[in-house]
A and B are shown apart, each in its own frame.
Chain A
Amino acid sequence: MPEAAAGIPVPLIRVEALTKRFPGVVALDELTVDVAPGIVGLVGANGAGKSTLIKILLGLLAPTSGRVEVMGYDPTTQGTRLRRYVGYMPEHPALPPDVSATEFVAQAGRLSGLPTKVARERTADVLRHVGLAEERYRPIAGYSTGMRQRVQLAQAIVHDPRLLLLDEPTNGLDPAGRDEMLGLIRRTGTEFGIAIVLASHLLGEIEAVCDHLVAIDGGHLLRAAPMAAFTAETGILTVEVEEGRDTLAAGLADRGLRVLEGSGGADRTVRIALDGGAPFDIVRDTVADLGLPLVRMEHGRHSLEDLFRDDVPAASATTGASA
């Protein structure tokens, strides 16, 4: 195999000025992003363009303009060759009810280019991996949502793809099923060595599983970076006291610290901009001098949610923030 099997090119996915217009809607607007191998989270609100991007990467949709390259292939013109190395799990249930998981997954393997005998062997393998036992010989109509999602994952990995595109893979699952599915995905990415793009609007999921993140909003790229960059320490120190919150705020301001607005009321915390310094001693002394009951002092971390809040700058959080 001289092609994708020879090795995964870096970047794995290259998207350049990609635009996709539907009648009346611009789903993707001049999106440019490179994706490296690994487990990459694709986050965005519903309607941000995640599914559209995935369908373009697969060659299911043609871009209006711009360039896309997946593992060195152009999905629009080299779709059939590319798709032998790509697995896809759509966001909606997509299984026929009247056949068994074994029959459906084996057919999926053959359609992705596996010889018939290999498809049968690998079907047994992957169904065991996703945790489907005896029920795999029964018609899919009788499966629970969790079992169906496992079959959908199995059909996506039966042909040992180099890249797995997962669109909201935990849709409709209960919390336990969700955790199991995320564990399976994490394992697929790390143990099986398959590059994964995981689209989700649930930031907790992305945080638990992915090591890179691509955030899109309204068809634009919001940010693309390693996960660590998104959860890095902020420039905010939060101080919580049992009582006397306003006294503390005034005292800290008197000693030259920049107190951020936005807390108060029921909130008993004071937020201070670090501005590059580390005023822990000043805070301690102020609290002691005022005789206030200190509960905690915490150096804040970014959360993924900050990405989608206009009021929190992603890079530096030294300006005032309102809750």
Chain B
Amino acid sequence: MSAGPSGSIYDIGYRGYDGPRLGRRHAFATLFTGGLRATFGLGRSARAKIVPAFCIVVPAVTALIIVALRTFASRFGITDLGVIPGHAEMASSVGVFATILVAVQAPELLGRDVRYRVLSLYFSRALLRVDYALAKLAALCAALLILFLVPHIILTVGAVLLTTDVVDALGHEAGAWLAILGSAVLAAVATSGVALVAAAFVARRAYATVTIFGLFIVPGIIAAVVVALDLGEASRYVVLLDIGAVLDAANAWFFGVDPSSGTWAATGLPVSLGLVASIVIAIGSGTILVQRYRTIAA
């Protein structure tokens, strides 16, 4: 900190800036890191950290308990713990926490800037409207990826550390990670995309949160009822509205297992259809989000 030639220490005079001025990529990175921090409540009040912490910690603790159970069981020579979830079953239980996180934080990421009219200050800078929308999507996706992957990392580390044959365990785990990453990335994009679209259209935070929960829960109930009533061949496809079931089917496709969603299993539809539907949801919601921000008033 250098004082101006004649000014007092209280007023060092205005200093111009002649250095480099970076472009859209820098602006995108700024919005991305800002969004990621906001999703976890970093740089915000303690209250803003409660939900993100809950959503991260509970699946992580669950994974730790699984590792502990495995360790305990292996002492008694039991290796087949059928009821204890592994990598393939993790997605459906973590999905609940992903829904909670996006329902609470997606309105925070988008609604706040609309409600307090901050958008005009963002759009008047060195970025495009598209950059804003995609940076927010990328931020929420990254947060969900962390949420999804932490339990898998714990399971993998546990499996490798607890075994006597480290090489075999590493090989086994490495094989699973292709499926883990594929399933997690797809679920992260689709889940955050749907939530952000809802948040982009519903500015009031509480309403947006309710809307997001509704989008993830209500179609699931309807689908379950319709499938249970067995109204005919075509009615089975109503399950495609159930985002949870669709993502679960995609997860099953990646791991080559049966879907854990009862609704999907009851329809008898191939899990590859779930994969396709997940991709459609991911791309479709991203497109709607970008379109929304192309035209939103600022």
Residues of chain A touching chain B, judged by Cβ–Cβ distance below 8 Å, are 1, 5, 58, 60, 79-81, 83-86, 88, 90, 92-99, 103, 107-108, 110-116, 118, 122, 125, 129, 139, 155, 159-160, 191-193
Contact = CB atoms under 8 A, between A and B. Distances in A.
Given A80-B126, A95-B116, A108 B121 contact: yes
A115 B20 contact: yes
Nearest to B121: A94
Interface of B: 12-24, 26-27, 30-31, 34, 43-45, 48, 112-113, 116-118, 120-128, 298
B22 A92 contact: no
27 contacts: A60-B124, A79-B128, A80-B126, A80-B128, A81-B126, A85-B21, A90-B120, A93-B117, A94-B118, A95-B118, A95-B121, A96-B116, A98-B48, A111-B31, A111-B122, A112-B21, A113-B22, A113-B26, A113-B27, A114-B22, A115-B19, A115-B20, A115-B22, A125-B12, A155-B121, A191-B14, A192-B14
**Majority secondary structure, B binding face:** loop
A203 to B, nearest CB: 25
Nearest to A100: B43
Contacts of B120: 60, 88, 90, 94
Given A80-B24, A129-B14, A113 B126 contact: yes
B2 to A, nearest CB: 11
A92 B23 CA distance: 27
Given A84-B21, A103-B43, A58 B124 contact: yes
B148 to A, nearest CB: 27
Given A93-B116, A94-B118, A118 B48 contact: no
Contacts of A113: 20-23, 26-27, 126
Given A80-B127, A108-B125, A125-B15, A96 B113 contact: yes
Given A58-B124, A96-B118, A112-B21, 5 more contacts: A98-B44, A111-B127, A113-B23, A114-B21, A115-B22
A83 B18 contact: no
B63 to A, nearest CB: 32
Contacts of A79: 128
Given A5-B18, A88-B124, A125-B15, A110 B116 contact: no
A58 B17 CA distance: 21
A86 B124 contact: yes
Nearest to B122: A111
The 7 closest A-B pairs by CB, nearest first: A113-B21, A160-B17, A111-B125, A88-B124, A110-B30, A84-B21, A192-B14
Given A98-B44, A115-B20, A129-B14, A110 B26 contact: yes
B117 A94 contact: yes
B245 to A, nearest CB: 36
B45 A98 contact: yes
A160 B16 contact: yes
Given A113-B27, A129-B14, A83 B125 contact: yes
B44 A111 contact: no
A103 to B, nearest CB: 6
B4 to A, nearest CB: 11
A114 B51 CA distance: 33
Nearest to B41: A98
A107 B34 contact: yes
Nearest to A158: B17
A92 B297 CA distance: 14
Given A80-B128, A108-B125, A111-B126, A90 B117 contact: yes
Contacts of A139: 45
Nearest to A98: B44
B116 A1 contact: no
A112 B48 contact: no
B112 A90 contact: no
